[in-house]
Homo-oligomer: A and B are copies of this chain.
Amino acid sequence: MNKPERIDKTDATDQVMHAIGERARAAAHVLALAPTQAKNAALSAAADALRKSTPEILSANARDVAAAKEAGRPDAFVDRLLLDGARVAAIAKGLEEIAELPDPVGTILAEWTRPNGLKFQRVRVPLGVIGIIYESRPNVTADAGALALKAGNAAILRGGSESHNSAQAIHACLIEGLKAVKLPEAAIQLVPTTDRAAVGHMLAGLDGAIDVIVPRGGKSLVERVQKEARVPVFAHLEGICHTYVDRDADLAMAVSVTLNAKMRRPGICGATETLLVDKGAPANVLPALVKALLDAGCEVRGDEAAQAADTRVKPATEADWATEYLDTIISMKVIDGVQGAIEHITKYGTQHTDAIITANAKTAEHFLAAVDSAIVLHNASTQFADGAEFGFGAEIGIATGKLHARGPVGVEQLTSFKYLVHGAGQIRPK
């Protein structure tokens, strides 16, 4: 019955998104040449605007929160959506921190001179236009827009429909910042429609206007983006991270690092999901690890050897090795040395983050070389898988692909490069 109406809506979205792509591409040309000082000043002015507009932002957010509650959304969802004065202040501070990061654009990555006198430079340039698709977390509007801007890119932001009022209020402050320094307003665009077709247009690349898509959200969002995107995607689908306790591990360190790797924040992508223990480790290692985890309130699902260590250990099934719990649950397996650990991780890992605990430098070296993950740690917690902990400042996410951006995606990872060649009239012989 309402078919004609839907067609109209789709047509309208099509036009809106096409225009957004064109404006983003035009803005990107200006941003690529924008001085560092202008980009930083825009971010500072946006931070000021956010602080000044806190009442408007909170009232927009209250409308989103009321609608989410009415729709019966779970508490965790509402909490992620909810803003208060402190959270707005933190968002403003985040913008200022991004302003303080070094500007990657123009950095000379390499330079050399050829025998014919041609001087080559490999120089960082912005990627161009970044599409960010995210769920109902209002802060992403500011964080993602600011990171893209700092790296000289135009951003097209498509937030969850349930945070649309909050996102609009925050976006207005970013625009104030851009206007204050006369940078194009199209540098950071918020998709104005909640029509889901808009996401499809972005995934198709908006007629070549979008250079890369960054999804921010749960597994189902990332899955859809990775499956449907016709442009490159910086993302990770799952972080099934492993900690391997080797026969040569210091026991106290193994216990402390494992507890932190699982329990500090069990819900982040860098949390350890599977603990691998060397069958060649001293007899007291396995029970000590099991007891520490159980006593800390973690459910342990183990193979037969782990179950034998404590009656509270539940049996692990094949599915457990392939599960990202994001919860206070860990799977645990006794394997045959570092080679067994590498084989298990190769089979079940998601190329995100994996760690070895050992005092044996040679064993560590082999593990670090053989494990094909974005981040491989020796004697440290997998919870360090985070751009801020790397010293990148803010990050837009963690990528597990092998192309371009791997690991934390910060300002530098939002750039490309080009070659500048300086000559004195050289022509190519032959």
- Interface residues of chain A, those whose CB is within 8 Å of chain B, are 29, 32-33, 112, 114, 118, 120, 125, 127-128, 211-212, 232, 250, 253, 256-257, 259-261, 264, 346, 368-370, 372-381, 383-384, 386, 389-391, 402-404, 406-407, 416-428, 430
Q: What 9 A-B pairs have minimum CB-CB distances, sorted nearest first? A: A380-B423, A260-B427, A253-B425, A402-B416, A404-B404, A383-B428, A377-B421, A379-B423, A403-B404
**What residues on B are CB-neighbors of A423 within 8 Å?**
377-380
CA distance A428 to B262 in the complex (A): 11
- Report yes or no: B406 in contact with A417, Cβ–Cβ below 8 A: yes
CA distance A127 to B401 in the complex (A): 10
CA distance A375 to B417 in the complex (A): 10
User: Closest Cβ of chain B: how far from A334's Cβ, in Å?
Assistant: 22
CA distance A378 to B418 in the complex (A): 14
Q: Given A127-B402, A389-B428, A391-B114, verify A418-B374 contact (CB < 8 Å).
A: yes
For the complex with contacts A120-B391, A128-B402, A256-B427, 20 further pairs of A-B residues with Cβ separation under 8 Å are A29-B370, A114-B390, A232-B403, A259-B427, A260-B427, A260-B428, A368-B420, A373-B418, A374-B418, A375-B419, A376-B420, A376-B421, A379-B425, A379-B426, A380-B421, A381-B427, A384-B428, A406-B419, A407-B418, A407-B419
- Report yes or no: B384 in contact with A418, Cβ–Cβ below 8 A: no
24 A-B pairs, CB-CB below 8 angstroms?
A29-B346, A32-B369, A114-B391, A120-B390, A127-B403, A211-B402, A232-B403, A250-B425, A257-B425, A257-B427, A259-B427, A264-B427, A376-B421, A378-B420, A378-B422, A378-B423, A379-B424, A380-B423, A380-B424, A383-B428, A390-B419, A404-B404, A406-B416, A407-B418
CA distance A381 to B253 in the complex (A): 60
The listed residue (B376, B416, B421) touching A375 by CB distance below 8 A is: B421
The listed residue (B260, B346, B369, B391) touching A112 by CB distance below 8 A is: B391
CA distance A33 to B342 in the complex (A): 13
User: Closest Cβ of chain B: how far from A428's Cβ, in Å?
Assistant: 4
User: Closest Cβ of chain B: how far from A90's Cβ, in Å?
Assistant: 15
The listed residue (B32, B389, B422) touching A372 by CB distance below 8 A is: B32
Please, which residue of chain B has its CB at the minimum distance from the CB of A418?
B374
**What residues on B are CB-neighbors of A114 within 8 Å?**
389-391
User: Closest Cβ of chain B: how far from A400's Cβ, in Å?
Assistant: 10
**What residues on B are CB-neighbors of A32 within 8 Å?**
369-370, 372
- Report yes or no: B389 in contact with A430, Cβ–Cβ below 8 A: no
CA distance A69 to B379 in the complex (A): 65
**What residues on B are CB-neighbors of A422 within 8 Å?**
377-380
Please, which residue of chain B has its CB at the minimum distance from the CB of A427?
B260
**What residues on B are CB-neighbors of A386 within 8 Å?**
428
- Report yes or no: B211 in contact with A403, Cβ–Cβ below 8 A: yes
**What residues on B are CB-neighbors of A417 within 8 Å?**
406
- Report yes or no: A384 in contact with B29, Cβ–Cβ below 8 A: no
